[in-house]
Structure formats: C-alpha cells, structure tokens
Amino acid sequence: MEQLTRDFFDRDTVAAARDLLGRHIVRRLEDGRALVCRITETEAYVGRTDRACHAYGYKRTARTETLFAPPGTAYVYLIYGMYHCLNFVTEPEGEPAAVLIRGAVPVENGDIIAENRFGCKTDRLTAYQRKNFLNGPGKLCRGLELTRAHNGLDLTRPDGPLTVWSGTPVLPRQIRVGKRIGIDYAREAADFPWRFWVEE
C-alpha cells in the first residue's frame, strides 16, 4: 500500500469523500503498534455552499480554523461534550471543506480497538457489539484513541501518528449514496446527496 499524498485531498470534497471508501486509516500508538481500519462510510462538507459545515460562509472561529488548513489535515472536534469526530480537510488551503469519516471496519489490531470500545477482545464481543463496532464517528474515534489533541495533524507526514493509505478502492456497484445524517437544521443542504457508504 501507498500513503495518500496531499494531492489526494487537494480536490473536490464530494469526489474525495466517495474515493475515501476502502482506504485505510493507520493510527500509530506511542508504543509503536498500529491500529488499522478500512473506511466504509463518509460525508462531505463544503463551507462555501453548505449550511451544515461548521465554516459555512467562511465563518472563521477558534473551532473552525483547522478547516482552513492545508488539504490532508486532520480536523477533530467534539460533539455533545463527549463524542469526537474525525474529518480530513480537503480542497486548497483557505477553502473550508472536509470529509467526515462516519464508519470503518478493523483490519489490524482489532483486539486493541475492541478493548478501547468495549473493554474486551474481539472474540468476546456480542453480536450487537460486532454490528456497532465502528459504525459511527464517535465510535471510530474511541476505537482509535483519537481526541481533540489530534486536531491539526498532518495526515501526509511519513510515519506520522495518523495517516491514510491506499487500501483497496471500492467497486462502483458497492457504493451507496444518500443524504447526510443529523443535519435537518441545514435547510436545502440537508438534502445534498453527500453521504457515501459501502454495501458489502
């Protein structure tokens, strides 16, 4: 596999969101171990036109500043005071846009990810826990030990603590498209078909 470069992220956000399906997130821990998962669900957010984006209309605050960073930067924020969400900044620097990683499946060191999520190894997971392992942005961040401390990381840095790799691109027939989740407040943007997921 090859690590994704800045060029991968420096393009249309909706296209990047679709193309991220099947790619691998690699989270390197301080002890040298790597947690690896394959992306299965994404959502695109584009500040210049999208009321659901934190930086809609180029709104620049302490929270949204990372969205204006170079493409290939991690944007990690907290919702409801308890759940972290991982995003990959896209498009040229200064254009506030990103892809939210909504879901993934473990590829390597699944036992560590399961311990982070449920306090047990994968062979002890219930059917419910297996079904709801990393199928949500907060669950993914908990499984990969990601917090606001990782906001602003350069995803393209070789051997960085958080990187994205080529993985296995998903076949077009496996990709489903629909409206994003939990953004009913966003008026017309609530209906944008900017959510992508893998139908296994």
Per-residue pLDDT 10s for the chain (200 aa) are: 899 999 999 999 999 999 999 999 999 999 999 999 999 999 999 999 999 999 999 999 999 999 999 999 999 999 887 899 999 999 999 999 999 999 999 999 999 999 999 999 999 999 999 999 999 999 999 999 999 999 999 999 998 999 999 998 899 999 999 999 999 999 999 999 999 999 87
Q: Where are the beta strands (DSSP E) in the chain?
A: 24-28, 34-46, 74-79, 83-89, 97-108, 162-165, 175-178, 195-198
**What's the CATH architecture for 6-190?**
Roll (3.10)
Return the biggest CA–CA distance within the chain: 47
Q: How many CB atoms lie within 10 A of CB 54?
A: 18
**Contact indicator for 109, 134 with CB cutoff of 8 Å:** no
This prediction's pTM: 0.96
The single-letter code of the amino acid at 118 is F
Beta bridge partners of 79: 83
Query: How many residues does the structure list for the chain?
Result: 200
User: Which one, of 31, 25, 36, lies nearest residue 163 by Cα?
Assistant: 25
**C-alpha distances out from residue 196 to 58, 141, 176, Å:** 25, 19, 6
**Contact indicator for 104, 39 with CB cutoff of 8 Å:** yes
